[in-house]
Amino acid sequence: GDSVTQMEGPVTLSEEAFLTINCTYTATGYPSLFWYVQYPGEGLQLLLKATKADDKGSNKGFEATYRKETTSFHLEKGSVQVSDSAVYFCALSDQAGTALIFGKGTTLSVSS
């Protein structure tokens, strides 16, 4: 079945460092891809999305490009801040388009 694999955490960075969180997927068809973020004690928030190959989603300095040839959707940010500390989830839409399949999540910790 469809699945998402993302890098294990935790990822620990200093403020202003470059961030990459790897995400690869297995899917039939052409799913939409998402990154969600979960701050401590809160629900998930949509960070960015891409709906077709070569689309780039971006928000709050974060970017991810839908790479069909490598089945990847890696999350990047040029300069992280302490406030970016959270758990990041990569997800894809199922074939019916009515459910999201999530990766296990990657914990990011940024220190000043």
Partner 1 sequence: KAGVTQTPRYLIKTRGQQVTLSCSPISGHRSVSWYQQTPGQGLQFLFEYFSETQRNKGNFPGRFSGRQFSNSRSEMNVSTLELGDSALYLCASSYLGPTSYEQYFGPGTRLTVT
Among 29, 41, 69, 112, binds partner 1 (CB under 8 A): 41
Site string for partner 1, 42-61 (x = CB under 8 A): xxxxx---------------
Here the tokens at position 75 are 């999350």
Among 10, 61, 78, 97, binds partner 1 (CB under 8 A): 97
Look at residues 23, 76, 30, 35 and name the one whose alpha carbon lies nearest to residue 52: 30
99 near partner 1 (CB under 8 A): yes
Classify residue 84 by its DSSP letter: G
Where residue 60 falls (left for φ over 0; alpha for ψ -120 to 50; beta otherwise) is left
Hey, which residues between 57 and 96 contact partner 1 (CB under 8 A)?
89, 93-94, 96
Classify residue 83 by its DSSP letter: G
Cα–Cα distances in Å, from 96 out to 67, 76, 100?
21, 29, 10
Among 22, 32, 71, 72, binds partner 1 (CB under 8 A): 32
Among 9, 100, 107, 109, binds partner 1 (CB under 8 A): 100
Q: Which stretch binds partner 1 (CB under 8 A): 19-27, 41-49, 55-63, 76-84?
A: 41-49
